[in-house]
Amino acid sequence: MAELVEELKEKIIDQLSLEDIEVSDIDNNDPLFGDGLGLDSIDALELIVLLEKEYGIKLTDPKEGKAIFQSVQVMADYITKHRTK
């Protein structure tokens, strides 16, 4: 799990072009949206693409993302349970 969390942080930084942020800047339980990393609605959609591309998880309703993208930890838990690749 710890490995997946680190991998996710790298992928999020890369996919969302967070150039001034390092893996060590992201706490496992930091909120991704709002005050945390300051992500917006396009980033949420981009994370949905990331889930499908990297882990074979397909979300059809953008609202589902809200619960899953609370933090890197929550995201990693969800991926562990639902991944198909």
Contact positions toward another protein, by CB under 8 A? 15-21, 38, 40-43, 45-46, 48-49, 52-53, 61-62
Cβ-based nearer residue to another protein, 19 or 35: 19
Cα separation, 73 vs 71, in Å, equals 5
Cα separation, 5 vs 59, in Å, equals 20
Beta carbon of residue 43, minimum distance to another protein (angstroms, whole number): 7
Cβ-based nearer residue to another protein, 15 or 28: 15
**Could you give the dihedral angle defined by the CA atoms of residues 20, 42, 11 and 13, in that order, rounded to the nearest 10 degrees?**
0
Beta carbon of residue 49, minimum distance to another protein (angstroms, whole number): 6
Cβ-based nearer residue to another protein, 8 or 39: 39
What angle is formed at CA 10 by the lines to CA 6 and CA 15, rounded to 5 degrees? Answer: 145
Per the listing, tokens 């990297």 go with 54
Beta carbon of residue 58, minimum distance to another protein (angstroms, whole number): 11
